[in-house]
Structure 1
Amino acid sequence: MDFNIKKATLEDLDIAADLFNQYRVFYRQQPDYEKCKQFIQDRLTQEQSHIFLIYVEGKAAGFVQLYELYHYAKLEKQWLLSDLFVHPDYRGKGLSIALIDRSKQWCDETGACGLMLETEKTNDIGNKLYPRCGFEYDGLHNYYHWWK
């Protein structure tokens, strides 16, 4: 399958926002395209995240969004692979792997020590995909959230 991956800019805002909205719906959130569009616009404008879009035959099929973090033990920059989504019509064709590979390449390009991610325990697809892509399960840490 022919595909290409492009780093998103504000020119890609509508496409990125639409995919991000679909991603959120996948995770049981109410659709809200306008709010998603503002969120993505803010991230891109403030250079708070980097988004890569994957296209198949000219049609946007998915994306990955990365946020900059720093690793306390390695004392180096790392990237949080926060969001990864491939439209259902394009799943099972290796596009997620291509987006992960592009994220690894971004680590090389930016001098980062690696990628980290978190996914739901019930995400069967992701929990099979990530180890196949070289990620190691971290069973030593518990992740907690505090919401205001």
Structure 2
Amino acid sequence: MRMFGQVGTRDGDGAGGTVTDEGSGVVLRVAGEADLDTAAELFRGYLDFYEVTVQDAGAPREFLAERIAKGESLVLLADAPGVPGTVGFAQVYQAFSSLTLSTAWILNDLYVAPAGRRTGAGRALLREVQRRAREAGVAGVQLETAYDNHVAQGLYESEGFVREEFHVYFHDLG
């Protein structure tokens, strides 16, 4: 089932696959098969940031390739003006909210490489996820971050995200 296969994309004239964030000049695009190496490099940076050890160096690329091929996630990439290469990525999954009886999106991953920080790339990715969610008729976007990631928390709260009063639990079955 392709969850994100029908999510609209646009370019400067509203028809193609890229959009430029007006405030920062950051160019955003939906990652496709041709972007897998770039997206995987950023994904590895994200995993390193959260101190996740990956035994197989190719696993992040394979994971993204499968999600994209099956339409199970929306992966956005960001290019910042004046910074070489792609500097950020976001990965979104579709979920369902029993409490609202509707669809919700989970912004599972948002990462900007050190060279792209303070360029507006993170904010542009976050805003594009929200724009696409509204366009898709989604009830809301949920995310989580580490307790000590105060920079990310500040960004999320400045963009209207509200800290919920729920505790997140996880039971590792591996």
Give TM-score, length-normalised by structure 1: 0.93
- Tell me how far apart the structure 2 counterparts of residues 129 and 4 of structure 1 sit (CA, whole Å): 19
Please state which structure has a larger fraction of its residues in helix. 1
Give the gaps of 5 or more residues in structure 1: none
Match among 56, 63, 67 for residue 39 of structure 1: 63
Partner in structure 1 of residue 135 of structure 2: 109
Partner in structure 1 of residue 124 of structure 2: 98
Partner in structure 1 of residue 21 of structure 2: none
Equivalent runs, 1:1-148 vs 2, <5 Å:
1-30=24-53, 32-57=56-81, 59-139=85-165, 141-148=166-173
Q: How many residues align?
A: 147
| Percent of aligned pairs with the same amino acid | 29
Q: Is the 8 A contact 2:26 2:120 kept in 1?
A: no
- Tell me how far apart the structure 2 counterparts of residues 19 and 46 of structure 1 sit (CA, whole Å): 20
Give TM-score, length-normalised by structure 2: 0.80
Q: Secondary structure at the match of 1:142?
A: coil
Give the gaps of 5 or more residues in structure 2: 1-23
1:40 Cα deviation after fit: 0.5
1:3 Cα deviation after fit: 2.1
1:11 Cα deviation after fit: 1.3
- Runs of 4+ in structure 1 over 2 Å off: 30-33
- Tell me how far apart the structure 1 counterparts of residues 27 and 128 of structure 2 sit (CA, whole Å): 11
Q: Is the 8 A contact 2:78 2:86 kept in 1?
A: yes
Q: Secondary structure at the match of 1:5?
A: strand
- Tell me how far apart the structure 2 counterparts of residues 93 and 10 of structure 1 sit (CA, whole Å): 26
Q: Is the 8 A contact 2:26 2:124 kept in 1?
A: no
